[in-house]
Amino acid sequence: MRDFATLFTTLDQTTKTTSKVAALRAFFEAASDSDKLWCIALFSGRRPKRAVTTTLLREWAAELAGIPLWLFEECYPIVGDLAETIALVLPPARQHDDQPLTHWIKTVQSIAPQEEAARKKIILDAWDRLNTTERFLFNKLLTGGFRVGVSQKLVTRALAQCTDQDEAALTHKLMGSWTPDSITFDQLVLQDDPEADLSKPYPFYLAHGVDDIDQLGPVSNWCAELKWDGIRGQLIKRGGAHHLWSRGEELMTDRFPEFAQLRDFLPDGTVIDGEVLAFQDGVPLSFNVLQKRIGRKTVPKKMLIEAPVILQAYDLLEWHGTDIREKPLSERRHLLASLIENLPTDLPIALSKQVPATSWDTLAEARETAREVNAEGLMLKRLSSPYLAGRKKGDWWKWKVDPLTIDAVMIYAQAGHGRRATLFTDYTFAVKSGNELVPFTKAYSGLTDAEFKQITSWVKKNTLQRFGPVRQVTPQHVFEIAFEGIQASPRHKSGIALRFPRMLRWRQDKPLDEINTLEDLQEMLRQFG
Amino acid sequence: MSNVLTFTDKGIYCPAGDFYIDPWGRVERALITHGHSDHARWGMGSYLATKAAAPVMQHRLGDVSIDTVNYAETVQIGDARVSFHPAGHVPGSAQIRVEVAGEVWVASGDYKTTNDGFSEPFEPVRCHAFITESTFGLPIFKWQPQQVVADQINTWWTANRAEGKASILGAYALGKAQRLMSCVDASIGPILTHASIENTNDILRAQGLHLPDTVRVTAETGLKKYPSALVICPPSAFGPWSKKFGPQSQAFASGWMALRGVKRRRAAERGFIISDHADWTELNSAIAETGAERIFVTHGYTSVFTKWLRDQGYDAHVVSTDYGGDEADDSDAPQQDTQDAGAAV
Ligand SMILES: [Zn+2]
Ligand SMILES: [Zn+2]
Q: What is the pLDDT of residues B223-238, one digit of tens each?
A: 778 888 999 998 878 8
In this complex, do B261 and A80 lie within 8 Å of one another by their Cβ atoms?
Answer: yes
Indicate the DSSP class of residue B151: H
Residue pLDDT, tens place only, A120-162: 999 999 999 999 999 999 999 998 877 777 888 899 999 999 9
- pLDDT at residue B344, as a whole number: 24
Residues pairing with A276 in the sheet? A231, A311
Answer yes or no: is pLDDT of B153 > 50.
Answer: yes
Where in chain B are all domains bearing CATH 3.60.15.10? 6-141+276-318
Residue B98 is predicted with a pLDDT of 98
Q: Show residues of chain B in contact with A80, CB under 8 Å.
A: 259, 261, 334
SS3 state of residue A411: strand
Using the mean position of ligand 1's atoms as its centre, give its distance from the Cα of residue B39 in Å: 7
Report pLDDT digits (tens) over A489-514: 887 888 898 888 999 999 988 889 88
- Chain A touched by B139 (CB under 8 Å): yes
Pick from B279, B308, B311, B335 the residue to mutate for testing the A interface (most A CBs within 10 Å). B335
CA–CA distances in Å: residue B220 to residues B91, B214, B225: 31, 16, 12
Q: Compute φ and ψ for A138, nearest 5 degrees.
A: -60, -45
Percent of chain A with pLDDT over 90: 52
Q: Is the dihedral of CA A507, A510, A512, A517 positive or negative?
A: negative
Going from the N-terminus, what domains does chain A have, and what CATH number goes with each?
Answer: 2-143 (1.10.3260.10), 205-400 (3.30.470.30), 404-528 (2.40.50.140)
pLDDT reported for residue B343: 24
CATH number attached to the domain at B146-272: 3.40.50.10890
Q: What are the residues facing B12 on neighbouring strands?
A: B7, B21
SS3 for A447-480 is: CCHHHHHHHHHHHHHCEEEEECCEEEECCCCEEE
In 3D, which of A404, A407, A405, A441 has the Cα closest to residue A426? A441
Chain A neighbors of B302, CB-CB under 8 A: none
Q: Tell me how far apart the alpha carbons of residues A503 and A24 are, in angstroms, rounded to a whole number.
A: 36
- Of the two residues B120 and A147, the one the predictor is more confident about is B120
Separation CA A321–CA B303 (nearest Å): 68
Per-residue DSSP letter, B325: S
- Contact partners, residue B52, CB within 8 Å, separation at least 6: B91, B92, B120, B207
Q: Virtual CA dihedral for B70, B74, B80, B86, nearest 10 degrees?
A: 50
B268 contacts on A by Cβ (under 8 Å): 13
Residue of chain A nearest B259, judged by CA positions: A79
- With residue B305 as reference, give the H or E element that holds it: helix B302-311
Query: A32 Cβ partners below 8 Å, 6+ apart?
Result: A100, A102
Residue in B139, B142, B267 closest to A67 by CB: B139
Instruction: Enter the DSSP assignment of A249.
Output: S
With contact defined as beta carbons under 8 Å apart, do B191 and B215 qualify? Answer: yes
The pLDDT assigned to A297 comes to: 66
Sign of CA dihedral B77, B80, B84, B90: negative
> What's the CA-to-centroid distance between A454 and ligand 2, angstroms?
24
Least confident span in A237-241, A315-319, A464-468, B197-201: A464-468
pLDDT at A419: 63
Closest CA to B272 of B197, B331, B329, B225: B329
- Mean pLDDT for chain A overall: 89
Q: In a 3-state reduction of DSSP, which class is residue A407?
A: strand
DSSP state letter for A263: G
Q: Count Cβ atoms below 10 Å from residue A215 Cβ, excluding itself.
A: 8
Q: What's the CATH number for B6-141+276-318?
A: 3.60.15.10
Smallest CA–CA distance, residue A421 to chain B, in Å, is 6
Say whether pLDDT at B335 is over 70.
no
- Closest in A89, A415, A469 to B139, CB measured: A89
Nearest to A422 among B268, B301, B335 (CB): B335
pLDDT at A211: 79
Give the whole-angstrom CA distance, residue B270 versus residue A462.
Answer: 36
pLDDT for res B331: 44
Q: What's the pLDDT score for residue B336?
A: 35
Please report how many Cα atoms fall inside a 13 Å half-sphere around the Cα of residue A467, on the Cβ side: 6
β-strand partners of B75: B82
Question: Which residues of A have a CB under 8 Å from any CB of B?
Answer: 12-15, 65, 67-68, 70-72, 74-75, 77-81, 84-85, 88-89, 92, 415, 417-424, 456, 460-461, 463, 466, 469
Distance of CA B107 from the midpoint of ligand 1 (Å): 13
Q: Which pLDDT belongs to residue B341?
A: 27
Q: Which residues contact A197 (CB under 8 A, 6 or more apart)?
A: A176, A177, A178
- Cβ atoms of A219 and A360 closer than 8 Å: yes
Rg, chain B, Cα only: 20
Percent helix / strand / coil, chain A, rounded to 5: 40, 25, 35
Q: What is the pLDDT of residue B329?
A: 44
Q: Residue B101, by phi and psi: left (phi above 0), alpha (psi -120 to 50) or beta?
A: left
State which amino acid sits at residue A424: F
- List for chain B the helix, strand, coil content (%; round to 5): 25, 25, 50
Q: What is the predicted pLDDT for the residue at A121?
A: 95
> What pTM value is reported for the model?
0.73
Cβ distance of A422 and B138 shorter than 8 Å: no
Give pLDDT tens digits for B85-103. 999 999 999 999 999 999 9
Check pLDDT > 60 for residue B71: yes
With H, G, I as helix, E, B as strand and everything else as coil, classify residue A48.
coil
With beta carbons under 8 A apart, name residues in chain A contacting B258.
Answer: 88
Model pLDDT, residue B226: 85
Q: Looking at beta carbons, which residues of chain B come within 8 Å of A423? A: 335
Q: Which residues contact B100 (CB under 8 A, 6 or more apart)?
A: B2, B4, B14, B16, B17, B79, B80, B81
Within 10 A of A373 (CB to CB), how many other CB atoms are there? 11
Residue length of chain A: 529
In one-letter notation, the amino acid at residue B49 is: A
Residue B342 C-alpha, separation from nearest chain A C-alpha, in angstroms: 8
Expressed in angstroms, the distance from the first to the final Cα of chain A is: 50
| Residues near ligand 2 ion, CB 5 Å cutoff | B 110, 323
pLDDT per residue as tens digits for the range B165-180: 999 999 887 899 999 9
Mean pLDDT of A402-429: 86
A23-76 per-position pLDDT tens digit: 999 999 999 999 999 999 998 888 888 888 999 999 999 999 999 999 999 999
List the one residue out of A114, A102, A71 whose CA is nearest residue A89.
Answer: A71
Question: Is residue A273 a contact partner of residue A283, using CB atoms and an 8 Å limit?
Answer: no
| pLDDT, position B339 | 28
The tally of CA atoms less than 13 A away on the side-chain side of residue A330 is 6
Residue B321 · residue B344 · CB < 8 Å: yes
pLDDT bracket for residue B1 (50, 70, 90): low
Kindly list the residues from chain A whose CB atom is less than 8 angstroms away from the CB atom of residue B267.
Answer: 15
Nearest CA in chain A to B256: A79
Lowest average pLDDT, out of A249-253, A378-382, A449-453, A474-478, goes to A249-253
**Do the Cβ atoms of B311 and A469 come within 8 Å?**
no
Residues 6+ apart with CB under 8 A from A14: A20, A23, B269
* pLDDT score of B332: 46
Q: Which residues of chain A lie closer than 8 angstroms to B269, CB-CB? A: 13-14
Q: Which residue of A has its CA nearest to B267?
A: A13
* pLDDT on residue B323: 78
Cβ separation A418–B139 shorter than 8 A: no
Q: Which of A415, A422, A460 sits opposite B332 (nearest CB)?
A: A422
Give the full edge-to-edge strand order of the sheet including B66-69: B6-8, B11-14, B19-21, B29-31, B46-50, B66-69
Q: Judge: A88–B142 Cβ closer than 8 Å, yes or no.
A: yes
Whole-number Å distance, alpha carbon B328 to ligand 2 midpoint, is 7
Task: Kindly state the average pLDDT of the residues A393-406.
Answer: 89
- Residue B103's DSSP bridge partners are B100
DSSP-derived secondary structure letter, A47: P
Residues of chain B with CATH 3.40.50.10890: 146-272
Shortest CA distance from B338: residue in chain A: A460
Mutate: best of B134, B135, B138, partner A, most A CBs <10 A: B138
Name the phi and psi angles at B96, rounded to 5. Answer: -105, 120
Contacts of A467 (CB under 8 A, 6+ apart): none
Q: Is B149 on the interface with A (CB under 8 A)?
A: no
Report the separation in Å between the CA atom of B110 and the middle of ligand 2, taken as the mean of its atom positions.
5
Decide if pLDDT at A193 tops 90: no
Residues of chain A with C-beta less than 8 angstroms from the C-beta of B264:
12-13, 418-419
From residue B311, alpha-carbon distances to A70, A110, A213, B34 in Å are: 11, 38, 65, 31
Tell me which chain B residue has its CA closest to the CA of residue A86.
Answer: B140
Residues in chain B closer than 8 A to A72 (CB atoms): 139
Whether B304 and A74 lie within 8 Å, measured CB to CB: yes
Residue predicted with more confidence, A306 or B134: B134
Nearest-angstrom CA–CA distance, B108 and B97: 8
Task: Give which of A277, A291, A253 is closest to A351, Cα–Cα.
Answer: A277
Q: How far apart are the first and last CA of chain B?
A: 18
Q: What is the DSSP string of B230-278?
A: EEEE-GGGTTHHHHTT-SEEEEEE-GGGGSHHHHHHHT-SEEE---SS-
Do B335 and A424 touch, CB atoms closer than 8 A? yes
State yes or no: pLDDT of B337 exceeds 60. no
Q: Given this model, what pLDDT does residue B340 score?
A: 27
Q: pLDDT at residue A429 above 60?
A: yes
Helix (H) or strand (E) segment spanning residue A233:
strand A231-238
Residues A371 and A401: beta-carbon distance below 8 Å: yes
Interface of B with A in 250-269 (CB under 8 A): 258-265, 267-269
pLDDT above 90 coverage of chain B, percent: 72
Q: Name the burial class of residue B216, with classes exposed (0-12), middle (13-18) and buried (19+) by CB atoms within 10 angstroms of its CB.
A: middle
pLDDT above 70 as % of chain A: 97
Tell me, in angstroms, the distance from the centre of ligand 1 to residue B327's CA: 8
A88 with B334: Cβ contact below 8 A: no
What does the pLDDT look like over B268-325, one tens digit per residue? Answer: 778 999 999 999 999 999 999 999 999 999 988 999 999 999 999 999 999 988 876 5
Residue of A nearest to B330 (CA): A422
Beta carbons of B97 and B131 less than 8 angstroms apart = no
Q: How many helices (H) and strands (E) does chain A have?
A: 18, 23
Instruction: Determine the distance separating the centroid of ligand 2 and the alpha carbon of B319, expressed in angstroms.
Output: 13
* DSSP SS3 for B328: coil
The confidence band for A251, taking pLDDT boundaries of 50, 70 and 90, is confident
Which of B138, B149, B336 to substitute to test the interface with A, most A CBs within 10 Å? B336
Q: List the one residue out of A29, A38, A26, A20 whose CA is nearest residue A149.
A: A20
pLDDT at A173: 83
* DSSP H or E stretch at residue B130: strand B129-134
What residues of chain A lie within 8 A of the CB of B279, using their CB? Answer: none
